[in-house]
Amino acid sequence: MFVAAASDEEGQWFEPIRIGLIPTVAPYLLPAMLPALRKRFPGLRLSIVEDQRAGLLEALGAGILDVAVLALQEMACSGCVEIELYSEDLILIVPQGDPIAGELGLPLSTLRDLKLLLLEEGSCLRNSTLDLCRSVGAFGVAADSRFCSLATVVQCVFGGHGAALVPESVAEIETQNVAVAAARFASPAPSRTVGLVFRSSSGRSEQYRRLAAALAETRLGAEPVPCAPLADVPQAQQAPAST
């Protein structure tokens, strides 16, 4: 049986925490999260799993994971506690030179004129994108393409294969060295809320709440992505010429 352990006043944690993160959060939160947690909780040991939402919730319910970080859509599971960490806008990524590049107040109806690139089945972001498209009668998704990572999606936008709807935290990282541009929707913009989920029956709920507070603070320190074409992109990343 997993025995809960207390943490001391110095922030030391005596038992590891098994944490799961969805793929559209893990690569973008972990680089800031891991050093911040090491500094704040010197004794904390983490076991990290990346998986889709359904897999994380199954592992959480089975006791394989202690906590999960995922997009909060409907209630994650019965008998779970959800703590909101942060909310972020969904940003449109388009090729440089696109007529809407750098726009700050796009109507959602803009989606009707775009070919959107989607992640694979099971992705929270895929489902959110499809729901948003249906709400405005937009059906121009790239049905013949699907992707495992948003890094690949952004590269395909760069290559002229379509546009993509990505969370702001993703745009901050994936657009740094790729010749693409960002555009924002008018308020209220589409967004997602990321949260930490754990079993309500856990004897370590206070530790998990402290962990959630630290993760929320980590994300609050992030810089917003500029909505303009990126400058000083290496020559190797310039868009290929048409042949």
> Model confidence over 102-158: pLDDT tens digits?
999 999 999 999 999 999 988 889 989 999 999 999 887 777 788 999 999 999 999
Instruction: Clarify whether residues 77 and 97 are in a common domain.
Output: no
Parent domain of 76: 17-86+192-220
**166 forms bridges with which residues in the sheet?**
91
Instruction: Clarify whether residues 202 and 158 are in a common domain.
Output: no
* DSSP symbols for 92-112: EEEETT-TTTT-S-B-GGGGG
> Model confidence over 33-91: pLDDT tens digits?
999 999 989 888 999 999 999 999 999 999 999 999 999 976 657 789 999 999 999 99
Instruction: Clarify whether residues 155 and 111 are in a common domain.
Output: yes
In a domain, 60, yes or no: yes
* DSSP symbols for 114-152: --B--BPTT-HHHHHHHHHHHHTT---B-TT--BS-HHH
Instruction: Clarify whether residues 93 and 173 are in a common domain.
Output: yes
Per the structure, the count of domains in the chain is 2
SS3 (DSSP) at 25 = coil
State yes or no: pLDDT of 217 exceeds 80. Answer: yes
In a domain, 226, yes or no: no
Six token digits for residue 78: 């019965």
Q: Which residue in 240, 232, 141, 224 sits closest to 184, CA to CA? A: 224
> So what's the pLDDT on residue 55?
94
Residue 73: CATH number of its domain = 3.40.190.10
State yes or no: pLDDT of 228 exceeds 90. Answer: no
> So what's the pLDDT on residue 81?
93
Whole-angstrom distance, CA of residue 21 vs CA of residue 98: 33
Whole-angstrom distance, CA of residue 116 vs CA of residue 54: 24
